[in-house]
Amino acid sequence: MVGFPDSPTEPALSNVTVIKLNDCTDRNEHLVNKPNDREVKDHAITIERDNMSNGKDNYALDFDSMEKAIDNKLNTSTDIKAEPDIVKKVADPDPDFRNDTGSFGNRPYRNEKWYQTTFQVAVPFFIAGIGTIGAGLVLNQVKDWPVFCTISQLFILIPSLLGLKGNLDMCLASRISTQANLGNMHEFREIVKIIVGNIALVQIQAIVAAVLVSIFAITVDAIMEGSEYTFKWNNCLLLATASVCTATSTCFILDFVMIAVIMISYRCKMNPDNLATPLAASFGDVISISVLSTIASGLFDRMTPEPWILYVILGCYFLILPFWIYVVLKNNYTRNVLTSGWLPVLSALFISGFGGLILDQVVDSFDGFVIFQPIINGIGGNLVSVQASRISTTLHQTTIMGILPPHSKIFISPWKALFRGSLYAKTARILICMAIFGEIIFIFVADYITKGTSTLHICFVISYIVMAVLQVMLLLYVAHIIIHAMWQHKIDPDNSAIPYLTALGDLSGTVFLAIAFWFLISIHQEYGK
């Protein structure tokens, strides 16, 4: 067995399956004699980094050959202290690692102060909050448009479509932020490859997933209507066309904005995980609802006299799809994601779809529900995306996929995960406090803009804040569990975790808000009355 002094690598290496023997030469031999190694002296072999196909560093050993190599050295040595046969000390594979500075080799790991994290998250958080308020106000205005009254499936489509756009944008932001934090965005050629590959990947996912979410909305509506449902082909075609146009256009524009934010923040020595993912989580919601309602309304007006327009638009997107696939397959940074990144995105669509089903049922029952629903959903997804991106980046910086670092466990108590007792508890505390203050500000602003005066009473504020904080705490705790579980099973959380978390945020936010409105009605303290 191979052991590392004062290192968690010894139990971890037993899980390594891809193994390779380094050349045991004189230049790779040295004596380990450092204060932090408990004065252990033994012959050692340095393990070089092995570059994997996904561009990340890994370490690998051929245990059988390594045993023989070390045994030969031990047999020729005369000044080695006797050690147990079951353990042979090997030099630290990354001698540049220093716990005091938080670095991992040549990879910059940012050990931020609490006020740095707060400031970097707060700025995009409140900017994104404006977007969530705008989304609620826009939805409140367009819900009475003829297209929404005629094609009610749009209400089922909206949460899923917003979730889809947010998932794709946040996954892109998380992937590029990780590459930036790993130091892979210094050369212009590599930057271009990363950007082009990710843009093409998002377009593929947007086209395919938007069609599927339209089919989901139609199917769910048919099930709910039962025998009273009447199938209308043109309505289904309009849903698919409007969904694809909205998803691809908004993702294409906003992705370039996020890439610019990531590049600028990284050049300014700020953590892009704190800046890009909040903007991706909510800032595009108001744009997406505006684009969807505008496109759907325009197509609705042209659907009867010129239905061929729907076929032409949808056909053009399918014709360009092979080009995007070709670009992604030729890109080393996104090739694997094209085949492995579908399950989280599609699963998230269906989870968000149930939130849309609830919205469709309560939109006429609870006055003002559509004003606050994008706010609670947007803020929840906003904050959990920050935590998810930070945890994922930390894992990428400090260990290899499949091996959890010593400071992390999959299942811990909510207290340790959210308040005190884990590496990420500090950030969780900041995000929970930010949720409380942010929600209070946003609901008062949204209410004032809608009503022209403040109509909120203490019962509504308390009920709303309690539900919103419970939602954020639930999302942060689930994020800790799901990201570490994915990492241990060698699933990249940059591509898989955020879709599940934001979809859960959409569903839980809608459910918790409905509970709050139901409670207020039961105590005769309805909103706006």
Report residue 230: phi and psi, to 5°: -120, 120
Residue 14 confidence (pLDDT): 45
Residue 111 confidence (pLDDT): 62
> Rounded CA gap, 445 and 387, in Å?
26
Residue 458 confidence (pLDDT): 92
Catalogue all structural domains in the chain, each as residue range(s) with its CATH number.
112-141+365-528 (1.10.357), 145-361 (1.10.357)
Residue 21 confidence (pLDDT): 41
> Rounded CA gap, 317 and 210, in Å?
11
385's CB contacts (< 8 A; 6+ apart) are 170, 174, 277, 278, 280, 281, 498, 501, 502
> Rounded CA gap, 437 and 452, in Å?
22
CA distances from 102 to 97, 272, 372, 398 (A): 8, 18, 41, 9
Q: Which regions in the chain score pLDDT beneath 50? A: 1-67, 69-70, 73-74, 76-109
Tell me: the pLDDT tens digits for 434-455? 999 989 999 999 888 888 888 8
> Rounded CA gap, 134 and 371, in Å?
9
Instruction: State which amino acid sits at residue 125.
Output: F
Residue 187 confidence (pLDDT): 80
Number of Cβ within 10 Å of residue 384's Cβ equals 29
Residue 22 confidence (pLDDT): 43
- For residue 211, give the nearest of 318, 301, 360 by alpha carbon: 318
> Rounded CA gap, 479 and 355, in Å?
19
Residue 341 confidence (pLDDT): 72
Report residue 3: phi and psi, to 5°: -130, 150
Cβ atoms of residues 254 and 287 within 8 Å: yes
> Rounded CA gap, 56 and 182, in Å?
9
Residue 90 confidence (pLDDT): 36
> Rounded CA gap, 203 and 209, in Å?
10
What is the pTM (predicted TM-score) of this model? 0.65
